[in-house]
Amino acid sequence: MKSSKHGTPGGGERAPMSVGVLAERFGLAAHVLRHWEARGLLTPARDAAGRRRYGRADLTRVAVILRAKEAGLSLDSIRALVTTGDPAGRADILREEAEVLRSRIAAAQASLGLIECALGCDHEDFARCAHFQRVVAERTGTGAVVRRPLRPRALDV
């Protein structure tokens, strides 16, 4: 029977992997895995010489960490999620993260709206646009808006 580089004959449970092999599998630098270990996200077994040995559960954990990072979660939040055994605690963490994500989405949508408005503006310099000046005045709290004759714009509704 053939044996894969990291497996057992017949395709059964994988043999433990080194930090380099696991990092390569996910396209990461080995120091990233060491950092995650220092932060309490990973707890690899050690061999007799003290070298890290990653098993199937670690492989899954790395995939979970990467997916959570893609979702925008911090390493602290990820650690809390993967280390708590309390389903209610996990739900609380996820609710908080969902609220943070909703806020980021709203900010991104507002930014996109401003950029689209600038792209659709008839002024050569969008900073001269009354709408843009109104947004800036609201942000600065000055309320001072330079009044210029308004020209109709495609995005004003």
Long-range contacts of 49-52, Cβ-Cβ distance < 8 Å, separation of 24 or more = 51/18, 51/19, 52/18, 52/19
pLDDT in tens, 54-106: 999 999 999 999 999 999 899 999 999 988 889 999 999 999 999 999 999 99
State the DSSP string of 92-103.
HHHHHHHHHHHH
- What is the pTM for the complete model shown? 0.65
